[in-house]
Amino acid sequence: MSLTSAIRVALAALFVNKGRSALTCLGIVIGIMAVIAMVVAGNGARASLDERLDSVGKNLILIKPGGRSNAGIVLSNDSFTDEEVKALREDPEVRRLVSALGENQSHLAMVSTPTVSHHTSITGGVPAMFHVRKWQIEHGRFYTENDLAKAAPVCLLGQTARQKLFPHRSNPVGERLRVGNVRLEVIGVLKAKGRAPTGADPDDQVFVPLSTLQEKIANVKRIDIITATAVTQDAIPQAVERIKKVLREKRRLKPGVDDTFEVSSVQEMAELAVNVARIFNILVVVIASISLIVGGIGIMNIMLVSVTERTREIGIRMAVGATPGDIRNQFLIEAVVLSLVGGLIGIVLGITVAITVTRIAGWPTLMSPFYIVLAFGVSAAVGVFFGLYPAAKAARLDPIEALRYE
C-alpha cells in the first residue's frame, strides 16, 4: 500500500469516530498551544523590555534612601542630604566610573491654568537629570544651571500633563500655569516616555528646577532619589560598589552594619526580569510536556481500542496478502496523523493566543518559523512514540485468530 493510500485509509478510520478522535488529540492541542503562545509572547516581552531599557538607559543606576536588613526590616527612610550628593559628585572614583549624576525631589500638588486644574507630581531636579534619564525634548528647551541658580519660575511638561492642562495645544511653550501661589512659565514639553512596567505614568509630571521646588513650592529640602549613568555597562558593578562605599563613609556606617540606602541598576532589574521570565517559561514547558504525555497516552489508548475493534478487519487484510509490516505502518500512520492534526490545531490556537496577548500588552509579535517546524516535529514524535506499541500489537495478531474474532 502506498503512503498516500495509507494516509487516506487512516483519515477514513479516524473520521468514523470524530468525537473520540477530537477528544484524543486534545492533550496534544493544549500542549502545543501553550508552548507556541508562551514562546511568541515571551519573545515579544523580551523585545519590549530591551526597547524600554534602551529608552531609559541600560547604564542607569538608581540610588534611593532607605534600606532593609537581611530579615526585611526597614532600617531608614531618611532622604539624602546635599552633603551626600556633593560627596558623590566630588569623589574621583565615582567621577571616573559615572558620566552624569542628578538628584531630584517630588511633590504632589494641584496645578492650574485659567481653565483647567490637574493634580499631579511636581518633580524638581538638576539639569543633569535629563541627560541621565535620556529624556528628549519635543518643544522648547530644558532648564539650565542658570535657572537652577536663580530658582527660576520655569517648568517643563510631560505629555500626559500637557494633555490635561492644555488639551487643545500641542505646544504650550510660553504659557503660564500656577502651583499654589507660584506662577510658572512653560519652557518645554518632553517627548512621551510610555507607561512604566509598574503601571505608573512617567509622562504625568511637571518638571521644575530643584531650587524652585525646594524654595518656592514645597518649602522643604529633601532628596528623594539620585540617578547616575555609568560610563559603560561593564563599569556598572564597580560604580555601584563605589557609590555604596562613599555613602557608607558619609553616614559613618561601621563594617557589618546594613546599608541605610539602596543602590541598584537597571541592568540588575532587567536580569531579574529575564530570569523570572525564563523560570516561568520552564514551568510552562514542563506543564506543556505533561499535557503532551497525557495526550500521547490518550493516543496510545485509543489506538489499542481501535486495534481491538478492528481485529477482524486486520485478519481479512492479512488473508488477502497484507504483511505484518503493512499492518504496523497503517496503525502507526493513524497515530501520527491524529497527533499531527492536534499539533496543527495547537499551532493555530497558540499563534492566535500569542497575537492576542501581545496586542493587549503592546508588545511586538515575534514569530519564528523554527518553533512552528519544531512543534510539527514534536507532534510527529509523540504520534510515533505512543503509536508504536499499538501498531506492533496489531502486526503481531495471528490471521486465523483475527478472522475468528467477533
According to DSSP, the β-strands at 154-157 and 98-112 are: unpaired
Q: Identify whether residues 92 and 205 lie together within a single domain.
A: yes
| DSSP string computed for 75-121 | EE-PPBPHHHHHHHHH-HHHHHHEEEEEEEEEEEEEEE-SS-EEEEE
Q: Identify whether residues 241 and 314 lie together within a single domain.
A: no
What's the pLDDT tens digit per position in 194-208? Answer: 666 555 788 999 999
Q: Identify whether residues 156 and 244 lie together within a single domain.
A: yes
**Sign of the alpha-carbon dihedral angle for 233, 243, 52, 192:** negative
Task: Specify the number of domains making up the chain.
Answer: 2
Q: Is the confidence at residue 183, as pLDDT, over 60?
A: yes
- Would 64 be classed as within a structural domain? no
- Would 318 be classed as within a structural domain? yes
Q: Identify whether residues 275 and 327 lie together within a single domain.
A: yes
The mean-pLDDT minimum among 141-150, 160-169, 259-268, 385-394 falls in 259-268
- Would 377 be classed as within a structural domain? yes
Confidence at residue 153, expressed as pLDDT on a 0 to 100 scale: 95
- Would 344 be classed as within a structural domain? yes
Could you list the residue range(s) of the whole structural domain that residue 351 is in? 3-52+271-404
- Would 61 be classed as within a structural domain? no
Q: Identify whether residues 254 and 162 lie together within a single domain.
A: yes
| DSSP string computed for 143-194 | --HHHHHHT-SEEEE-HHHHHHH-TT-S--TT-EEEETTEEEEEEEEEPP--
Q: Identify whether residues 131 and 153 lie together within a single domain.
A: yes
Distance CA 323, CA 346 (A): 35
What's the pLDDT tens digit per position in 363-381? Answer: 888 888 887 888 888 888 8
Of 259, 285, 311, the last residue of a domain is 259
Q: Identify whether residues 106 and 173 lie together within a single domain.
A: yes
Q: Identify whether residues 91 and 240 lie together within a single domain.
A: yes
- Would 22 be classed as within a structural domain? yes
Confidence at residue 303, expressed as pLDDT on a 0 to 100 scale: 87
Question: Is the CB of residue 133 less than 8 Å from the CB of residue 229?
Answer: no
Q: Is the confidence at residue 20, as pLDDT, over 90?
A: no
Q: Identify whether residues 150 and 185 lie together within a single domain.
A: yes
Q: Identify whether residues 243 and 275 lie together within a single domain.
A: no
Percent of the chain with pLDDT over 70: 93
Rounded to the nearest integer, the mean pLDDT of the chain is 85
pLDDT grade for 163, boundaries at 50, 70 and 90: very high
Of 228, 259, 290, the last residue of a domain is 259
Q: How many CB atoms lie within 10 A of CB 67?
A: 18
In the 8-state DSSP scheme, what is residue 306? H
Contacts of 98 (CB under 8 A, 6+ apart): 61, 228, 229, 230, 231, 239, 243
Distance CA 207, CA 202 (A): 11
Of 194, 226, 259, the last residue of a domain is 259
What's the pLDDT tens digit per position in 325-361? Answer: 888 888 888 888 888 888 899 999 999 998 998 888 8
Q: What is the dihedral of CA 24, 26, 27, 31, to 10 degrees?
A: 150
- Would 241 be classed as within a structural domain? yes
Rounded to two decimals, what is the model's pTM? 0.64
**Sign of the alpha-carbon dihedral angle for 100, 105, 108, 112:** negative
Q: How far is CA 2 from CA 99, 326, 382, in A?
A: 72, 10, 23
Instruction: Give the chain's length.
Output: 406
